[in-house]
Amino acid sequence: MATAAVSKQRIWTDAEIEALPKDGYKRELLDGQIIITPVHATHGALCVRLGSILFHFVERHDLGEVYDSSTGFRLSEKVLLGPDVSFVGRATLKKIFAGPDKFLLGSPDLAVEVLSPSDRMKQIYRKVDRYFEHGTRMAWLVDWKKEQVHVFTADQIEALTRPQDVLSGGTILPGFKCRLGRLFLT
């Protein structure tokens, strides 16, 4: 199933979004339009692997929280995104945490989007743009088919393309390093 738009552009309340069917599909709000983004097995396994690697590093250094794709980040009244994996540092968490049963009211410090065959690059780039517009400081775009990661910061894009290349946390996750071969098991 391809990424599908299921609504016209409009303002959705949190309650309306939470009332949508619980049918196993991830829903996001991008520029006022609800989108459904189903994923395949490799995508899910890669998200868990990367999330686990990040979680252990963040936990060991007491840096903040790592979230999975089911966590919503309310960036504006027309944008509610759930990155495949995300990191929110302690200082940012104090600003955007609205309660245990609420969406986070702001952007993660690190947003990770893992590409699926159904993803449209124009839509992925719109998401990355929205993350940065609302305070994200780094985004990783992971292409599991090509075994590549594109690292976005406010002023550059870096492509990691070889198994020995090292994915770094930069200033967001100081000291974090992960060889691509570990991520893609090559």
Which of 19-28, 62-71, 173-182 bottoms out in mean pLDDT, i.e. has the lowest?
A: 19-28
86-118 per-position pLDDT tens digit? 999 999 999 999 999 999 999 999 999 999 877
32-78 per-position pLDDT tens digit? 888 887 678 888 899 999 999 999 999 999 999 999 998 999 999 99
What is the DSSP secondary structure assignment for residue 31, as one 8-state letter? T
Distance CA 79, CA 133 (A): 11
What SS3 class is residue 37?
coil
Distance CA 143, CA 87 (A): 19
pTM assigned to the model: 0.86
What is the structure's pLDDT at 108? Answer: 98
- Report all structural domains of the chain as residue ranges with CATH numbers, in order of start: 40-184 (3.90.1570.10)
Q: What percent of the chain has pLDDT over 90?
A: 70
Where is pLDDT greater, at 52 or 7? 52
Phi, psi (deg, nearest 5) at residue 160: -105, 120
